Structure 1
Amino acid sequence: MNETSINLLLQDLKNSDEAVRDQATEELWRIWFTQKGVAGFQMLQRVQGLLQAGETTPAETILTDLIEAMPDFAEALNRRAVLYFLIGDYQKAIADCQAVIRLNPIHFGAHHGLGLCYAAIGDHHKAIQAFREALKIQPFAIQNQRLILECTAKLS
């Protein structure tokens, strides 16, 4: 997908029509998951199945191998960040979220995930900053707005 199409989707994320925003969000996720074609997508699906079954070790191995083979596959890094978050390894999750953002600065999921990690370790200032970055991309994301309020309340 070309830059013009991505920019149109980013504009749609700011549309007042929820259906337009939802469609743009879904399309961006599709683009990110299929960045490396069918093979990459199938590996991410396999990992998702393992995570749903609670099989974190083989999921981590597959993701790490995938990242080594395709170091620019941002969604593989993002999926591993999710895995690390789920098992409570927040520092590794933070590192992976930051790597995703370096590869794909508009990845609202990685910004959101980064905020969740910082909140989990009690760094509410950095959490707020990450949620605000996500809101710059998806200004109608109520969850990020709510999390900013929760983190702000914890600072008082």
Structure 2
Amino acid sequence: MEDVLYLTLLIIAVAFALTVVFIVIVLHRFTKLLRTAGSTLGQVETDMQQTIPELQNTLHQTQVTVDDIGEKLQATDSLFDTAENLGHSVNHINQAIQKTKPTLTSNELEEETKLYVEGIRWSAAASYLYKQWKGANTAAKKTSDSIDQTGKEG
């Protein structure tokens, strides 16, 4: 009976030793995995330190582009206002023609619409002058901006 007890203890000891060896192997592999993950995260951190300034620069350039688009859209507001005024003028001319169509001769019609035609001409001239003025201001601003950005003053 004693032999069976010793044999049982031997089997338990061998099983325990195998379990310990298995746990050591698993822990060793887990350690290698953690080292590899740490190395990879270190590389990712280095890459992110290089990428973040580039991303910030891109965002800044995007903001400048969006601001520029906003300014250009505001510059077109006067054009659309002029087109709206032109549409109103044409509508008023049409209404005047419809009201007086049977009774006016062509000379009288010209006299009636002369004021509207003059208004359209002055609107077109004002729009042209505004565009020229806006273009000159934009060119001057770009010139001053490019001078400021060189960093070679004084």
| TM-score normalised per structure 2 | 0.26
Structure with higher RCO (Cα < 8 A, 6+ apart): 2
Pair member with larger Rg: 2
Structure with higher helix content: 2
